[in-house]
Structure 1
Amino acid sequence: MTPTGPGGVFARIDRGVLGPPGGTRPSLTVHVGSCAVLLSPEESRRALYGPRRDAVLGAAVWRQAVAEARGEPRNTDGAGRLLVVWLALPGLYRHLHRILRLWRQVDRADLEAEAVLAVLAALDAADPDGPDPGGRLVKDAVNRMWAYAKRVTREIPVVDIGAFAEARDATVPSEERPLPPGGWEVHITPPPRREGLYATLRFAEPHPRQGGRRTATRLPDLVFRARRHEEADLIGTLVLRPAGARR
C-alpha cells in the first residue's frame, strides 16, 4: 500500500488550493436568499462537511463552485476546477481508506488519481442548477474508485511464456563451450539434402588420465558409436581433430 505522503495527488491538490501561508486563495461568493456571502476555501468546506453544516448554504456552495468551474476558460490556470475537486475530497476519504484496508495490493496513488479523474469527468457534465451537483460528483468518484480496486484485484500475474521458452531453449554456441584439455573433437557433417541445410554435430571427448599420466583414450568407442552400417544410408562425414585445433 502506498503511504500518505506529500507527493500524493490529494496532498498536491491541498497545496494547490490553500497555497503558502499568506498567499492568495480562491474564494466563493454564494447567494443565500437575498444575502451574498464571501467564503474562503476552509469556510466552504465547513459548510459542506462541518458539524454545524447548513444544507441550504452547502447547496449554494456546490452550485456556485460548479458554475464557476464550468464557466472557466480552458486557457486559464484551472483554479475553479481545482477548487471543486478539493471540495469533493472529504467525501472520498472514507471510501479511500476502506478500499486500502480491504485490498493492500491496490496502490493509493493510483486510487487517488482515479478519483480525481472521475470528479473532473463528472464536472464536465454537471448541471449547477440540478439536484445535488456536488453529491453526484462525489458518487461518481466513489464508484470509479471501487471499480478500479475490484479490477486490480482480479488481475492475476502470469508467466511470460515467450521469455520462459526462450530461456529454456537457449543453447550455448559450440565455439563458446569450454573444450576439454588435451581431448578430441568429433565433427559430423550431414550430406546436403533437398529439404535444406543440416548443421554440423560436434562431440568432445577428454583424454582419460591415471596417476597423473595420460592413458589410452576412449576415442575408438566414440568412433564406433558414430559409425554407420554398410547397408544404412549415409548420415554424414566424420572428422576427428585435437580439441581446439584449426578446422
Structure 2
Amino acid sequence: MTLTGSGSVFARIDRNVLGLPGGTRPPLMVQVDSRAVLLSPQESRKALYGPRRDAALGAAVWRQAVTDARQEPRDGDGTGRLFVVWLALPGLYRNLYRILRLWRQVDRADLEAEAVLAVLTALDTADPTGPDTGGRLIKEAVNRMWAYAKRVTREIPILDIHALAETRNATISPEERPRPPEGWEVHITPPFRRECLYATLRFAERGPRRGRPRTESRLPNLVFRARRHEEAHIIGTLALCPAGALR
C-alpha cells in the first residue's frame, strides 16, 4: 500500500478504516460464482490491485462494497461509504503525484479532498451491477483532481489598483509632516486626471548656513528644469514656502 503523509486526507482515511474502534473493519462477504468469500480490508484491496488479482473477484468486491454503501442509512456512521473511498485510493496515487510534480503551487490536502468528494458524489448514482463500477468511481476522482489543479493554476493574483491609488494619493496633514528647522519646502502638485495616478511631490531643505540661504542658489536651476514649452501640456504647479507654512 502506498504510504502518505500523516496529515493528508488519504492517510486519515487509512487510519479510520484500518483502525476502527474495537479492532479492524469487519470482513467483506462477496459472492464469486456460487461461493461466498470473506475478505479482510487488506485482502479486498489485494484482490483489486495485487499482482495476481482475479478480475471476477475484483468485480465482486466493488459490487458488494458499493451495494453496502448505497444501502447504508444516511444517518448512519458512514463506514460503508468510507470503505468504498478507501478501496479507490490506490487508483488515485499515480495522477495525484503527476499533478503535484507539474504544479507545485497546488495544495495536496485540497487535491485529495477533491478526489474524496468526487468518489462520494459518484457513489450516489453508481450502479453496483454495472460494468467496471470501481473504474468509473476512480475516473470521476481523477478527472476532478485534474480539473481542480488546472483551475487553481489559472488563478493569478490581481493587484488592487484602487487601493494602490488611494495609498499613493494619500496626503499627510501639515501637522504630521517632519519639518526641517528654518528650512524651505518645495511642493509640486500635478493636475487632477481621473485616468492617471497622481501625488504631490515634496522636497525639503535645511535652513541656511552662515547666514546665506542655499535655496536661493538652487531655485533658478530648479525653475529652469521645471519650465515647459508653450505648446506643451501642463504637468503641474510648483510652490516654494517656508517649512511648515500653510499653502
The answer, yes or no, to whether TM exceeds 0.5 is yes
CA 1:216–1:13 in 2, change beyond 3 Å: closer, same or farther?
Answer: closer
Verify the 8 A CA contact 2:174 2:244 in the aligned structure 1: no
CA 1:94–1:183 in 2, change beyond 3 Å: closer, same or farther?
Answer: closer
Aligned to 1:157: 157
CA 1:216–1:34 in 2, change beyond 3 Å: closer, same or farther?
Answer: closer
Aligned to 2:91: 91
Q: Normalising by the residue count of structure 2, what TM-score does the alignment of the two structures yield?
A: 0.73
The answer as to 2:35 corresponding to 1:15 is: no
- Runs of at least 5 residues in structure 2 that lack an aligned partner in the other structure: 186-202, 220-240
Comparing 6-15 and 28-37, the one that deviates more: 28-37
Identical positions, percent: 76
The size of the alignment, in residue pairs, is 208
Q: Normalising by the residue count of structure 1, what TM-score does the alignment of the two structures yield?
A: 0.73
Amino acid at match of 2:151: R
Aligned to 2:66: 66
Aligned to 1:173: 173
User: Deviation at 1:163?
Assistant: 2.6
Comparing 115-124 and 101-110, the one that deviates more: 101-110
- Runs of at least 5 residues in structure 1 that lack an aligned partner in the other structure: 186-202, 223-239
Verify the 8 A CA contact 1:26 1:79 in the aligned structure 2: no
Verify the 8 A CA contact 1:17 1:86 in the aligned structure 2: yes
Q: CA RMSD in A?
A: 3.2
Aligned to 2:101: 101
User: Deviation at 1:207?
Assistant: 4.3
Aligned to 1:230: none
Amino acid at match of 1:163: A
Verify the 8 A CA contact 2:184 2:215 in the aligned structure 1: no
Verify the 8 A CA contact 1:17 1:26 in the aligned structure 2: no
Verify the 8 A CA contact 2:17 2:24 in the aligned structure 1: no
Aligned to 1:56: 56
User: Deviation at 1:11?
Assistant: 0.5
Residues 91-145 of structure 1: CA deviation (Å, up to 9, x unaligned): 1111111111222222211111111110011001111122221111001001111
1:179 aligns to what SS in structure 2?
coil
CA 1:216–1:97 in 2, change beyond 3 Å: closer, same or farther?
Answer: closer
Counterpart CA distance in 2 for 1:122 and 1:70 is 11
Comparing 20-29 and 105-114, the one that deviates more: 20-29
Aligned to 2:140: 140
Amino acid at match of 1:45: R
Counterpart CA distance in 1 for 2:64 and 2:213 is 100
Counterpart CA distance in 2 for 1:88 and 1:218 is 79
Max radius of gyration: which structure? 1
Counterpart CA distance in 2 for 1:114 and 1:66 is 20
Residues 164-211 of structure 1: CA deviation (Å, up to 9, x unaligned): 2222212222211112324589xxxxxxxxxxxxxxxxx98864231x
CA 1:205–1:8 in 2, change beyond 3 Å: closer, same or farther?
Answer: closer
Amino acid at match of 1:113: A
